[in-house]
Structure 1
Amino acid sequence: MRILEGSIQLVANYSDWKAIKKITITEKTDPLNIIEFLASLTGSVDGKVESNLKKIVDLEKLDKTIDELGLTKGDAVKALEEINSRKIAKVINEISANPNYQKNQQKEIGEFLKTYATRKTLKACGLMVDYSQIEIPGMGRLKKTKA
């Protein structure tokens, strides 16, 4: 019998982000362990996407616009309407129009901002939109991400 083995690794040594996360996978590895490992990566990576996004756009302006919506638990329908509203689109278009980037890059930045706005508005409604929000007993704590 041949034992297949693999691994998933993340090594980060960038600015204030120092992380080494790895898992060895064999035929006996429980898929739940793999799911938990991958979920732990998403929180870390998503946080760094947002912190780097803040370096190139005025994310506070989008945050303020989203906060002004006054979303609370149960407002998911309103949140979905607002994500596609002119008000949110205007702010996204304004802050993604960074002259340091080409038009195709500005469009990409706009898509990152739309994703950010979607996640933030749905979280404000009490919805779980990130795997990192799941309580993983092996991690010893409830992983919370910034709304």
Structure 2
Amino acid sequence: MSPDTLRPRFWERLPLSKLNAAEWEALCDGCGKCCLNKLEDADTGEIAFTRIGCRLLDDATCRCAQYEQRKQFVPECVVLTPRNIGEIAYWMPRTCAYRLLHEGRPLPDWHPLLTGDPESVHAAGMSVRGRTVPEFEIAEEDWEDYIIDEEP
């Protein structure tokens, strides 16, 4: 078996730490929510999502336009790994497969791994496609005006 082969229903059978690189990447549903700028309340730790997309977010595809080199362009970009998911899960969207599996919960029925269709996340209305504004258009002091309910 190739190290990049997707094993059948791997997300149900294996802990995140045992996934190969292809399986890890396949967990991403392509919603784009993790690429939205967020605000964290200093007193409560509560995370508020904004509709302000990272400068690298492609609003049409809900993917990073420079995924492999994203840290070069956005040094503060958080690279999610099996090692750091426990520290970062609270920062991820509630519907994120990485967060759900880390918390011992199942994938939602619209997830592309279940439907076989990468468009299912968009068809279910769970992505940010067509709903974001680029971060370079909004002054950081105005970000509170763009807070959204995390669920589109």
Please classify the TM superposition score into its range, dividing by the shorter chain length.
under 0.3
Normalised to the residue count of structure 1, the TM-score between the two structures is: 0.26
Normalised to the residue count of structure 2, the TM-score between the two structures is: 0.26
Please identify which structure carries the higher helix content. Answer: 1
